[in-house]
Amino acid sequence: MFIVVFILTILILVLIHEWGHYFAAKKSGIKVLEFGFGIPPRLWGKKIGETIWSINWLPFGGFVKLLGEDEIDADKLNDKRSFAKAPISKRIIIVVAGVVMNLLLAWGLYYVVLGSNDFKSQPILQLSNYKFAGAEQIAEKMVFIGQVASDSPALTAGIKSNDRVLSVNNKPILSTGELSAVIKQNAGKKTMIEVSDIQKTEIRSLEITPRENPPQGQGPLGVSLGEVEFVTLHYATPIQKLFAGPIHSWNVLSYSFKTMGQLISTAFEKGDITPVSQNVAGPVGITNLVKQILDIKNPLLPYLDFMAALSLNLAIVNILPFPGLDGGRFSFLLFEAITKKKPNATFEKYYHSVGLILLLGLIFAITISDIRKLLPF
């Protein structure tokens, strides 16, 4: 089921993106030769009107093929519906339209997710001296379970690794020291402990009896503990609520860049890229994340939040000036707009072709990495 949901999610994100290109091209009078989901070779295709609608073997993306998109085809250059003959302004609009659609989708989803929770975000790990824009910041500390020892009271009670500890005997827990002290006081007694997932979407009340004489190296519960500070963003004022979609998108992006920057910096300092690779996911890794979200008791809002983040990331990745991506094509159009000269058509075609090969190679490498993360050895 989670594989089906993942495929449908990718289908929606890709179709929204490519529909932007398609709609902008049609409005500009450009002939659309093919609208494809996935990367060729073609699995199925049907011509409707002047456009072939196709499904391709590699379901990692999509494309819209326009008449005259490759200027090497000299016989198409004089066609008034050729992309190559369109004014530079229209060509730029067509190229960036996919990114715009993904941004609009992310904004819309964030409006739904935030609006369903009094315009409060999911908890976000706080970074040192980091400030978010356009929102009130509600800071809290979170105590969570690290490892759970075998044959421990915690394992018997149903406590899991990464569970968040909310309270013990109805007393809120705000620090690991506080939790340790309360558990020691209740050693040998039946104790009610309230835990949840990180986002508090599924809360569980468990009965547990802490050990009075735990084995060496273990505590009364048989768990390791962790403590982090996180922040919830609250878009409280009418103006903040009105612009919550784009503002939250900006906050998510800037936070992601900050986090990744810190990981890369640490990797260079230590000469170990493992922390970076652990935070990069491809199709297999994303599918596993989908499974984890669907295992939550009420997964709808967390999943829409996840889908918004995917759409946002798709927009940003596509606008990068990398060959084969929308940003790569945009950089050539920007060069033409500034210099009033068209780049060499042959060079541009092979530039994007090589870029596509590199992207497929990168997807393959990340997929292998994702599979290794899932292996038990």
pLDDT for the residue numbered 132: 93
Q: Are residues 156 and 46 in the same domain?
A: no
Q: Are residues 268 and 367 in the same domain?
A: yes
Q: Are residues 182 and 221 in the same domain?
A: yes
- Residue 126 banded pLDDT, cuts 50, 70, 90: confident
Q: Are residues 228 and 312 in the same domain?
A: no
Domain extent for 212: 140-232
Lowest mean pLDDT among 140-149, 339-348, 361-370: 361-370
Q: Are residues 210 and 315 in the same domain?
A: no
Q: Are residues 284 and 181 in the same domain?
A: no
Q: Domain ends where: 202, 232, 262?
A: 232
Mean pLDDT of the chain: 88
Once rounded to an integer, what is the mean pLDDT over residues 312-338? Answer: 93
Q: Are residues 202 and 294 in the same domain?
A: no
- Cβ atoms within 10 Å, residue 96: 21
Assess contact for 123 and 198: CB atoms under 8 A.
yes
- Which among 246, 214, 251 has a CA at the least distance from the CA of 231? 251
CA atoms of 316 and 252, how far apart (whole Å) = 12
Q: Are residues 43 and 21 in the same domain?
A: yes
Q: Domain ends where: 232, 262, 290?
A: 232
Q: Are residues 274 and 259 in the same domain?
A: yes
266 vs 231, residue with greater confidence: 231
- Residue 74 banded pLDDT, cuts 50, 70, 90: very low
Q: Domain ends where: 187, 202, 232?
A: 232
- Number of folded domains in the chain? 2
Q: Are residues 114 and 149 in the same domain?
A: no
- Which among 37, 74, 10 has a CA at the least distance from the CA of 314? 10
Q: Are residues 248 and 358 in the same domain?
A: yes
268 vs 232, residue with greater confidence: 232
Once rounded to an integer, what is the mean pLDDT over residues 80-101? Answer: 94
